[in-house]
Amino acid sequence: MREIQVRTPAKVNLTLDVVGKRDDGYHSIESVFQAVGIYDALTLTRVDTPGITLSSTNKYLPCNQKNIAYQAAQLFLKHAHRWDGIHIHIEKHIPSQAGLGGGSSDGAAVIAALNWLLGCRMSLQEQCEIAAQVGADVPFFLTGGTMHVSGMGEILEPLPPMPALPMVIAKGKAGVSTPEAYRRIDQLTDPVHPDTARVIDFLRNGRYWDAIPECGNLFEAATNLEEVTQIKQIMMDMGAQCALMTGSGSAVFGIFDTGLMAQKCCNALHAVVLYAVTCKTLKHSIRIVSRS
Ligand SMILES: C[C@](O)(CO)[C@H](O)COP(=O)(O)OP(=O)(O)OC[C@H]1O[C@@H](n2ccc(N)nc2=O)[C@H](O)[C@@H]1O
Ligand SMILES: Nc1ncnc2c1ncn2[C@@H]1O[C@H](COP(=O)(O)OP(=O)(O)OP(=O)(O)O)[C@@H](O)[C@H]1O
């Protein structure tokens, strides 16, 4: 096989709490990650020239060793003791610096795609170990769906998949650096923690409409972005069951009862944000599009 194409989704944090700081400087989180139907598409091709090359449809994306996809390929080839020449093309649709895990998702897609392309037959555990070295959010994307995520992001407990709930995802101008967001978490004096255990208990029992109102994100208080507050208000005014910032920000997601309500909210948001799209929660994650 010389070429493989994969599609890889974005994620939202249905709920996200930071519960401690580790000796290595990383933080321990308690979160529920949910894959959502916004995708990047990656094409990996075996080439004769050794080394890793990268191209992207997003001209602002670093196409070098700063790219998470490049780092994932480098680590995978080293772990697999392979020296094949690989070209990675990224068709970028997931907004960056949004809290949607776009870079992390690309990294996971590269690990899974190389495992198929090079016929390495690595176990999911092996792939997760490589993913955890690439970034905290990367392991989740190897399985996707609805997942209780803890530790630094490497401890994964599958939860019953959510149904295809209508969602709106919107982002204003602000981009948030994840390290800066964590530094602000450390400075919170009186944090109000979401009740993650209660959310997970509801989700384990399929009671997702009971879980949704209990969700929260500690990064909202830490980053305190006015445009996040505005977007949340518009979503709630348009009938959202919940509206929360995802990850370290700055995108906001709203969950609606019907696709029509979601579309109406998306149309209303286009007047005030850079980016608004309707999508649905997903049971799956990385999908093979084609092999040749
Ligand atoms: C905020 C979340 O997106 C929630 O899903 C993740 O915790 C962040 O995951 P991520 O963007 O993949 O983070 P990485 O790229 O691995 O780390 C970026 C920086 O964020 C901080 N970081 C990240 C994850 C974590 N559990 N604790 C941290 O303190 C560290 O300063 C790290 O150097
Ligand atoms: N393949 C990639 N796709 C997107 N961003 C990338 C990629 N590789 C490196 N980056 C850089 O990584 C940074 C974080 O990207 P990413 O999209 O994962 O952040 P995010 O949307 O905030 O996700 P998270 O939920 O992990 O915080 C971006 O600012 C970008 O410059």
46-78 pLDDT tens trace: 999 999 999 999 999 999 999 999 999 999 999
Mean pLDDT of the chain: 95
> So what's the ipTM on this one?
0.95
- Give the pLDDT of residue 176: 76
What gap in Å lies between CA 120 and CA 268, rounded to an integer? 48
Model pLDDT for residues 92-133, shown as the tens digit of each residue: 999 988 999 999 999 999 999 999 999 999 999 999 999 999
- Give the pLDDT of residue 243: 98
Pocket of ligand 2 (CB under 6 A): 61-62, 67-69, 90, 96-104, 106, 137, 178, 247-248
Mean pLDDT over 210-236 rounds to 95
For residue 219, which ligand has an atom nearest its CA?
1
The catalytic residue among 106, 137, 171, 232 is 137
103 among annotated binding-site residues:
yes
Mean pLDDT over 159-186 rounds to 93
Mean pLDDT over 222-246 rounds to 96
What gap in Å lies between CA 113 and CA 120, rounded to an integer? 10
33 C-alpha to center of ligand 1: Å?
14
- Domains along the chain with CATH numbers: 3-160+283-291 (3.30.230.10), 166-280 (3.30.70.890)
Share of the chain above pLDDT 90, in %: 94
